[in-house]
Amino acid sequence: MKQTISFLIGLCFAISVTAAAEPPAVPDHFSFHLEQRLEGENAIQAFQMTDINAWKISGAGKERALELVQQSKYSPTVRSPVNIALIKDKIFTDFILEADCLQTGREYGHRDMCFFYGFQSPTNFYYTHIATAADKNAHNIFIVNGAPRTNIATETTRGVEWGLNTWHKVRIERTVSDGMIKVFFDDMQKPIMIAQDKTFQWGQLGFGSFDDTGKIKNIRIWAPKIENKSTPAFPETIK
């Protein structure tokens, strides 16, 4: 029997213990999931952005999405993505993240959307860059550790087909004990990227892009635990 506990923190978060909604191969100790519903006038306030003016909540009903509409006015201190929206006041260690995303930019090799995790500061985090074509700076798993981003994936593909007006499902799995990171795109059985790194064992999760625009909806997170922790906004000194 499905039992759901829901509560509001800026957006609507729902915690569910149903197995039917779980993605493949959820570990036994992942005893709940957290869903972000982009409902209400203040939904966008549940995120902290590098530039809030670059984002909006768009659509209605099931099509409501967090949308990146323009390039952020933000200059990171080291080479790394400019457009970032982090889930506010939530810290994760192990997690499984699923979200639907739609890339709204023009077609070119680095046409991308990014997913952030282990985000401890603007110069210390991981991100997955999913792009049309792979090279040393695109379509890979990256670490930003006080220096320009470095790719760390041990396995990847040649890229993805974003298409036009096409939603895609992304899943990211992270376990800190072995440092494993797996990224899935549409096919939830076979990863498109794998990396292994233990540098950052906790941090915020988020969404964005290096240079492009896009939408994110149906955000769901499975985790053994979630820490509610006040997280500071991006410092004025790096804008």
Residue pLDDT, tens place only, 202-230 = 999 999 999 999 999 999 999 998 888 88
Helix (H, G, I), strand (E, B) or coil at 236: helix
Tokens standing for 191? Answer: 């990863």
Higher pLDDT, 108 or 7: 108
- Residues 200, 68, 49, 93, CA torsion sign: negative
Residue pLDDT, tens place only, 62-98 = 889 999 999 999 999 999 999 999 999 999 999 999 9
Compute how many other C-beta atoms are within 10 angstroms of the C-beta atom of residue 21: 14
Q: Does residue 37 contact residue 12 with C-beta atoms inside 8 Å? A: yes
Question: Using CA atoms, how far apart are residues 68 and 213, in angstroms rounded to an integer?
Answer: 5
Q: How many helices (H) and strands (E) does the chain have?
A: 0, 20
φ/ψ of residue 220, rounded to 5: -135, 140
Across the range 160-186, mean pLDDT stands at 97
pLDDT > 70: percent of the chain: 86
In the predicted model, is pLDDT for residue 18 greater than 50? no
pLDDT at residue number 17: 33
pLDDT > 90: percent of the chain: 73
pLDDT at residue number 23: 64
The model's pTM is 0.88
* Average pLDDT over all residues of the chain: 87
Across the range 193-198, mean pLDDT stands at 98
Higher pLDDT, 57 or 16: 57
pLDDT at residue number 239: 38
In the predicted model, is pLDDT for residue 155 greater than 60? yes
